Amino acid sequence: MNCRDTLAGMALAVGLIAGTAFAHAQTPTQTPPDNTKVNTRDRAAGAKTADQQSNAKADVDLTQKIRRAIVDDKSLSTYAHNIKVISRDGHVTLKGPVHTAEEKSALEAKATEIAGAGNVSNQISITAKKTKTSTGKGK
């Protein structure tokens, strides 16, 4: 390899590094999500969190059946598909945000059908659906 090829290779490498640095500098920063209020609520005494899911076979099976019923319902939003289902000693707690009261009711009905009446605690919250502005960014 001669000196000219070496210089051309070095120039290419410097150009790639500079271009990558420039592209990285142009990447817009995203405001991190703030779920401090949710985290504070979940630290309250007696609050059910996902790590309290029982590993007893009956509870794991119960959670699996409810989760399958939720995910199989394609009319529900992604938010609804992602709610937390926590089972302990046959009692089920549903937690997380959904977009409508109808979804909240549908989720509770599915869990009650599987776990039985009186065995479901519905702690699902309803959050406004984000809409896109003319710039294409969510509100």
Q: What's the domain range around 85?
A: 48-126
For the segment 17-70, what is each residue's pLDDT rounded down to a tens digit? 766 666 555 555 666 665 556 555 555 656 666 667 778 999 999 999 999 999
Number of structural domains (the chain) is 1
For the segment 71-115, what is each residue's pLDDT rounded down to a tens digit? 999 999 999 999 999 999 999 999 999 999 999 999 999 999 999
Question: Residue 97 is part of a domain; what is its CATH number?
Answer: 3.30.1340
Question: Would you say residue 102 lies in a domain?
Answer: yes
Residue appearing with tokens 């899911």: 53
> pTM for the whole thing?
0.62
CA atoms within 13 A on the CB side of 93: 16
Question: Would you say residue 96 lies in a domain?
Answer: yes
Question: Would you say residue 40 lies in a domain?
Answer: no
